[in-house]
Amino acid sequence: MNAFKGKIAVHAITWGDNHQQALEEASKLNYRAIEPWPSFALQFEHHISQFRELLAQYNLELAALYGGVTGGASSTFADPSKRQDIMDYNLRLAKILSQCGAEHLVLGPGGPRHKPTSLEELKTAAATINETAKRTFELGVKACLHPHLWTEVQDENELDAIMELTDPDVVFFAPDTAQLTGAGMNPAELIRRYKDRVAYVHLKDVTKDGAVAKDFPLLDGNEVPIFCELGLGKIDFDPILDALNAIQYQGWMTVEIDRSTSTPYRSLEICRDFVEQRLGIPVNI
């Protein structure tokens, strides 16, 4: 048994738009919490009791929702003209979270990334993030910055700048083990650096350097996935768990794989078995 004191959730992204299947199979795999697509949660924006009943039907809690930048592929936190739209959108998600007893809103940056983000752009982005987080925090929801490949907040200097420029009492950190690793960062070091602000975690693996399609025989086509099932990639999760234990993290750690190499059920079964058998963490507590 690992010393990890947090709880395991699963991300619904693997099932795509098959939201009902995601709930059914996540429950069948013994996961007890889920981070569904925000578009799915918003269908129940004015029918919260129905949403709560649906989750309860599958013995699932709502772990978090993925928010952040909205308004199209070219929208960014760094665009001041998008500030009000971003704030309004995230407040809608925060209200759903609050009414469902959940308290984590993942702030995904905007893209696509064409160049590194300048300091002036980061200052503008930080102002939007700060104001959004203040609004959600009033509802008891923690807005958690989520650095992401191919976006305006990808590299370590960009993450550090945003964290420095925002209020530590309302802007938190949602490290993603694969996104950070893919950008050349050390997840364990960052968890320790921002130990007082780590509020939500995505547990994710990334393919080994030099991986080729034949390494994933069940994948349709010839494209090697950037992200893969836990244990099939290059990430050493032990130092990450050590860092989370060292900061006494007790929150959600959400298993995520963007694209299945077989079926969503099989992929999340592989991830579940890795968490339980390799990391020594039961998923159903």
Q: Which residues in the chain show pLDDT less than 70?
A: 1, 212-225
Place of tokens 């509020």: 199
Residue 25: how many CB atoms within 10 A of its CB?
A: 22
pLDDT at residue number 224: 61
Sorted by where each starts, the structural domains of the chain and their CATH numbers stand as: 7-278 (3.20.20.150)
pLDDT at residue number 1: 55
Instruction: Give pTM, 2 decimals.
Output: 0.95
Per residue in 103-162, pLDDT tens? 999 999 998 999 999 999 999 999 999 999 999 999 999 999 999 999 999 999 999 999
Measured at the CA of 201, the angle between CA 159 and CA 54, to 5 degrees, comes to 130
* Cβ atoms of 69 and 77 closer than 8 Å: yes
Rounded distance, CA 273 to CA 143, Å?
Answer: 30
pLDDT at residue number 226: 82
In sequence order, what DSSP letters do the residues of 174-217 get, joined into one string? --BHHHHHHTT--HHHHHHHTTTTB--EEE-EEPPTT--GGG-T
pLDDT at residue number 217: 58
Beta bridge partners of 74: none
